[in-house]
Amino acid sequence: MENRQQVKLFQAMEKPDFYPHPVNRIEQRETHISKVFLTGDYVYKIKKPLDLEFLDFTTLEKRRYYCHQEVILNHRLTHNVYLGVVAITVKDGEYHLGRPGDPVEYAVKMRQLPEGRSMLNLLKRKKISRNDIRDLTLILSEFYRRSPSSEQIHSSGAWKTIQANCEENFRQTTAFAGEILDERMFQIVQSATRAFLRRRKELFDQRIERGKIRDCHGDLRTGHIYFTDDGIQIIDCIEFNERFRYHDIASDLAFLAMDLDCEGFFKIGNYLLNDYAKQTEDQDVFILIDFYKCYRAVVRCKVDCIRLLEGNLDEQNRTKLIEEAGKYLGLAYEYAVRFTRPTLWVVCGMPASGKSTISKALSRVFGIKTFHSDVIRKELFGMKPEDPLDVPFEDGIYSKGASGLTYGKLLLSAQEEIETGNSVILDATFGNAHHRNEALRMARDLDANIVFVECRLKENLLKERLSHRKTKFSVSDARLHHFEYFKQRFEPLNEIGEAMHIRVNTETPLEECMEKILAKGTIEAFAP
């Protein structure tokens, strides 16, 4: 059906007598690829005869096929919502819904869900509870666990495919840069995306190995999630292109998290991601989330631009779309700055509090360097890290002057790493506020993020660990007889803002510590 013929059909569908059931009021919704008619009890969705490179609805047969695909795929996360595909026929010049005859168009028929029960509507009315988010995350986690994972699906999560998807977005949006989109922001988003892809290729490969590429939803947004009396219903998954549905679970969740950010519900997005990580032990999601949020924001920006190209918009709707496209680009820019800007991770705390264990885990997760004060101190004074040394507190290479030199070298090493664009970890006591302030100043001067991870442990356990160093090798020379001195001299981290201060009890399992660090240190500390 050509566009002009579809226009006639849409005019017919605006009339209540077109439908074989009572209709009191008809509402219409339009996207860049479909037209939707809401009749009260039922919804009818028509696909536009478009070829947009990433989809092809140009023939009646293709539209029929994708209507059926939409029904089949959306059964995965809904029940009693997608009722089937209905043929539209013509007789004596009039269109009819579901009557005998040769079909000229097809519509997806759905049960109309109450708009007041959409996630977005409920959020705006403060009707979404913490338990609701847990329930939603449980449903999504189970959905991803059950979703198919095959070689074909894995290929969609390959680094080359992700790179191609990003480049396609940029190519289809670039004509609007400098016209309705901020060209500088657009260029920065492009550069940051390409740089992240270059740096983290190994991580994308690991996601395939870990089984995190699945047949997902593809268009997970607050407007597509309903909390109904029949349970949570998640509608409108991507049916027209498997490439947009076969992707990393982190990318699927990022769409919803980005949408929540866009609507001003940043904390809800944090709850979602934290709950998912707890339920699945998928800590990589915190490393990838800003990259995929950026990707998703660009997708939404592109969709608005495509809609603007279609025309047939009054000035009010055109202005609204231009503003929305700019808002999505602005979000993409914020995410790009966050995942591009290096982070200085300061892992601090009393001796034997678990700093080295945490530092090692952070280094493994992010693939970045760690500089240890114990190693640097000995190297400065011509010693090997394994050389044991038992001296009184604040004597010899542990004097105040020697410590000043050690922390100076520690910060200089971090500075050199940050200036190359890399994040870095510092493993040291940092019990002196002056040294912490120097780290804060350096991060500020270098325009780097900074996070203090304070390792804490009960006093009896600290003493027990220090006591074990009599027989167990440790690069650190801190021993049990030094404990009281360290305790007296350790200055609380009162000058560190809560947003950049993470306290972890290292008596708990390492996985729990890392979950807390990654959750707060990657998605909360640098929230917009």
- The average pLDDT across 416-433 equals 95
Confidence of residue 478 (pLDDT cuts 50, 70, 90): low
Q: What is the pLDDT of residues 114-154, one digit of tens each?
A: 999 999 999 999 999 999 999 999 999 999 999 988 899 99
Side chain identity at 429, as an amino acid letter? Answer: T
Q: How far apart are CA 281 and CA 221, in angstroms?
A: 23
Compute CA distances 232 → 23, 132, 136, 207, 449, whole Å: 26, 9, 7, 28, 38
* The pLDDT of residue 383: 83
Q: How far apart are CA 12 and CA 16, in angstroms?
A: 9
Q: Which residues contact 173 (CB under 8 A, 6 or more apart)?
A: 181, 186, 298, 301, 302, 305
Q: How far apart are CA 104 and CA 256, in angstroms?
A: 36
Q: How far apart are CA 464 and CA 211, in angstroms?
A: 40
Residue 369 reports pLDDT greater than 70: yes
296 φ/ψ sector (left φ>0, alpha ψ -120 to 50, else beta): alpha
Q: What is the pLDDT of residues 430-448, one digit of tens each?
A: 999 999 999 999 999 999 9
Q: What is the pLDDT of residues 223-277, one digit of tens each?
A: 999 999 999 999 999 999 998 999 999 999 999 999 999 999 999 999 999 999 9
Global pTM value? 0.85
Q: Is the dihedral of CA 333, 337, 339, 340 positive or negative?
A: positive
Q: Which residues contact 393 (CB under 8 A, 6 or more apart)?
A: 482, 485, 486
DSSP states of 375-432 as a string? Answer: HHHHHHTT--TT------TT-GGGSHHHHHHHHHHHHHHHHHHHHTT--EEEES---S
* The pLDDT of residue 5: 80
Confidence of residue 477 (pLDDT cuts 50, 70, 90): low
Compute CA distances 407 → 374, 413, 482, whole Å: 10, 10, 20
Domains of the chain, start order: 3-112 (3.30.200), 117-340 (3.90.1200.10), 343-524 (3.40.50.300)
Q: Residue 106, Cα to own-chain centre: how many angstroms?
A: 36
